[in-house]
Amino acid sequence: MSRTHKIFSLFSLFICFIIQGCRNSTNNNYAMSVYDLKNLIVLEEYLLGVLDRFRQELQYKVITIENYLEMTKKRNNSLEINKFAFNFEESVPIVRRLYFDYSRLVAFLDNNSWDVCIKAIYDQEPKLPTKKDLIETTNGLYIMQSVYSMKISKMAKGIFQGVDYNSSLNAFECFTMAMFLEELDELIYAKQWLEVSLDFYMKDTVNRDLYAELGFSSIMIYELYASVLHRLGNGRDNLTVNDTLRSLNPEGFGIEKDQIQEPDMILEKENWEAYTTFCSTENRPSKSNLYCFYKRNTSHFLYLAPLKLEILSLNPYMVFYHDVISDNDIFLIKVEGQKNLTRARTFNLKSNNREEDSGRTTKVGWLDNNSLAIVQKMNKLVEDMTNLDLSSSAVYEVLNYGIGGFYGAHVDYYYDDFQKNDEFLDDRKATIVFYLSDVTQGGATAFPALNISVFPKKRSALMWYNLDNKGNGIPNSIHTACSTAVGSKWVMIKWLTQAAQMFRKPCLKEV
C-alpha cells in the first residue's frame, strides 16, 4: 500500500473521531511523522477486526433467525387458520414453539456483543487522533495542493503530478477539506473541494445510509456551499444552491458543521512565492567557477576512499556530497533515531522557550549517546567532510517529516537580537544534512536567495556555512524544507558550532 493510500484511508478514522465527539486529550502528533502513521494503520486494523468479529456474531444470529423463520413457515403453510382445522400433528408443534422457543429466542437475541465491542473501541481512545491531528492532516494536504499547484479534482482521486496512486478520498473526506479551507478563508479552494464532494456523494449511492449514520448528508454539503458562494459574492449560483437546499430541507433544519480552528500559521505570505518556485524543480547554479572533484586532503583515509564533492555556492560556501553514507549506516541511524521520536519544536525569541510551530511538520529523535559505534563513525566522517572541529557541536538529529511535511523559510544561525541578550553564544557555524531516504515527490531543500534547490537523494549529504569568517550570520543561507508530497523523508542534521573552530578556521577580525 502506498503512503498516499495510507494517508487517504486514515481520513475515515480522523473524521469518525471528530463527528462522534470523542474526548481524547492525548496528543500523539500523528500528522508530524509518516513513520508514526503506521501506528494508526495498526490501530485501524485492530478496530476493523473488532467490527468484523461483531459482524460475524450478528451474521450468525441473522442466519439462525432466518433458519427458524424458514422452518416455522413451512409448518404454518399447512395450517388452515380460517377453517380452524387443526389436527394433533399441527397443534403440538405450535404450542411447543410458543411455550419453549420464544423465551429462548429472546435470551439468544439478548446475548449480544454490543458492550464488548464498544468497550474494545473505547479502550483504544487514548491512541485515537485528536482534532489537532485532523487540522494538521488537512493542513498538510492543503500545503501540498498549494505548493505543487495540484488540481483538486485529480488530487481527490489520488493523482499527484500525473501519477495515479490508485487511491482516492470519498465525499465525506472532501467535505472535511472544504470545512478546513472555509475556516482559513481560502474560499476558492473550499468551493472546489465542495464541488468534488458533491459529485462524489451523488455518484456514491451505495454508501448513502452509511454516511447518514456517520452524520454526513448532502444537506451539509449544500449548506456550506451556499455559505461559501455567499461570501464569494456568487449571487446567481447561491440562489440555485439555496433552492436545492430548501427542497432537501424544507423546514430549514440544518446540521451544524463542526468548527475547525485554523492553525497558528501555514506559511508566511512573504515566503510563499519563493517557497513554491523552488520546490517543484531542482535548481543548480551554472557559474563556471563551480565544479565537482574528489576530496582527499583532510585525512589519510580519503586517499583510499575519496569523497565525491559538488560545489554549489561560494557565498555562502555550500557543497553536496554524493554517496557519502552507506545503506547499513543509514539503517543503524534510523533504528536509533526511531527510539525517541517526538514533535520538533522551534525556539521562540519572545517567550525564550522551545514551542510547537505549525510551520514545521516533523518529528525528531536524537543520537545523544557518544559511545555508540555509529555516532563515532559519523563523527569521523563529518570531520573528514568539513575539516571542522566537532568538540562542541550539537548532537545528531534524525528527522522524519509528516503529511505534506515541510519547514518554513528560516536560517540556522541565531538572530542578532537573541545574541545581544547573551554574554557569549556559541553559534552554528555550519549545517550538514544527511539524506537517509529517497523521496518520490517533493521534499527538496531550497535556498531562494541563492536560486538553489536540492532534492533528497539517499546516501548523499548537503553542507553549508551559516556564518562568515567574522562570525556574522549569512542572510543568503535562508532555506526551507519543501513539502513532501509522496514518500517518507528521513534526514539527519548536524550543526557545527563556531567556538571550536579557532584552530581550524582563520582568526576572526571582529567579534
Beta bridge partners of 452: 447
Domain boundaries along the sequence of the chain: 25-128, 130-248, 269-501
At 258 the pLDDT is 44
Does the pTM of the predicted model rise above 0.75? yes
Q: At residue 150, what are phi and psi to the nearest 5 degrees?
A: -80, 140
Identify the burial level of 357 via C-beta atoms within 10 angstroms of its C-beta, where 0-12 means exposed, 13-18 middle and 19 or more buried. Answer: buried
Euclidean distance between CA atoms 309 and 455, whole angstroms: 16
Three-state secondary-structure class, residue 485: strand
Q: At residue 399, what are phi and psi to the nearest 5 degrees?
A: -120, 140
Under 8 Å between Cβ of 3 and 486:
yes
Q: Provide the CATH topology of domain 130-248.
A: 1.25.40
Q: Mark 433-453 as b/e (b = at least 16 C-beta within 10 Å).
A: bbbbbbbbbbbbbbbbebebb
Q: What is the 3-state secondary structure (H, E, C) of 31-77?
A: HHCHHHHHHHHHHHHHHHHHHHHHHHHHHHHHHHHHHHHHHHHHHHC
Under 8 Å between Cβ of 325 and 434:
yes
Q: At residue 17, what are phi and psi to the nearest 5 degrees?
A: -60, -45
Euclidean distance between CA atoms 433 and 385, whole angstroms: 12
Euclidean distance between CA atoms 261 and 149, whole angstroms: 24
Q: Which three cell numbers stand for residue 221?
A: 454539503
Angle (nearest 5°) at CA 434 between 340 and 332: 50
Counted residue by residue, the chain has a size of: 511
Three-state secondary-structure class, residue 439: coil
Amino acid at 349: L
Q: Mark 71-90 as b/e (b = at least 16 C-beta within 10 Å).
A: eeeeeeeebeeeeeeeeeee
Euclidean distance between CA atoms 298 and 200, whole angstroms: 61
Under 8 Å between Cβ of 458 and 435:
yes
32: DSSP letter: G
Euclidean distance between CA atoms 263 and 142, whole angstroms: 12
Q: Which CATH number, 2.60.120.620, 3.40.50.920, 1.10.490.20, 3.40.50.2000, labels domain 269-501?
A: 2.60.120.620
19 CB-side CA count, 13 A: 20
Radius of gyration of the chain (CA): 31
Euclidean distance between CA atoms 434 and 439, whole angstroms: 13
Q: Mark 465-480 as b/e (b = at least 16 C-beta within 10 Å).
A: bbbeeebebbebbbbb
How are the residues of the chain apportioned to helix, strand and coil, as percentages rounded to the nearest 5? 50, 15, 35
Under 8 Å between Cβ of 172 and 217:
no
Q: Which three cell numbers stand for residue 246?
A: 430548501
Q: Which three cell numbers stand for residue 113?
A: 456483543
Mean pLDDT of successive 10-residue segments in the chain (511 residues)? 44 44 63 88 92 89 90 69 57 79 85 80 88 89 88 90 87 94 91 93 91 89 88 66 54 42 46 70 77 87 91 94 96 94 82 80 91 94 93 93 88 67 70 96 92 95 93 92 92 93 68 45
Identify the burial level of 107 via C-beta atoms within 10 angstroms of its C-beta, where 0-12 means exposed, 13-18 middle and 19 or more buried. Answer: exposed
Q: At residue 339, what are phi and psi to the nearest 5 degrees?
A: -70, -30
Q: At residue 45, what are phi and psi to the nearest 5 degrees?
A: -60, -40
Beta bridge partners of 362: 401
**CB atoms closer than 10 angstroms to residue 264:** 10
Amino acid at 404: G
Contacts of 87 (CB under 8 A, 6+ apart): none
In the chain, what is the straight-line distance between the N-terminal and C-terminal CA atoms, in Å? 55
Contacts of 468 (CB under 8 A, 6+ apart): 316, 474
What pairing do the DSSP bridges indicate for beta strands 342-343 and 317-322? unpaired
Euclidean distance between CA atoms 106 and 370, whole angstroms: 68
CA torsion angle 338 342 343 348 (round to 10) = -120
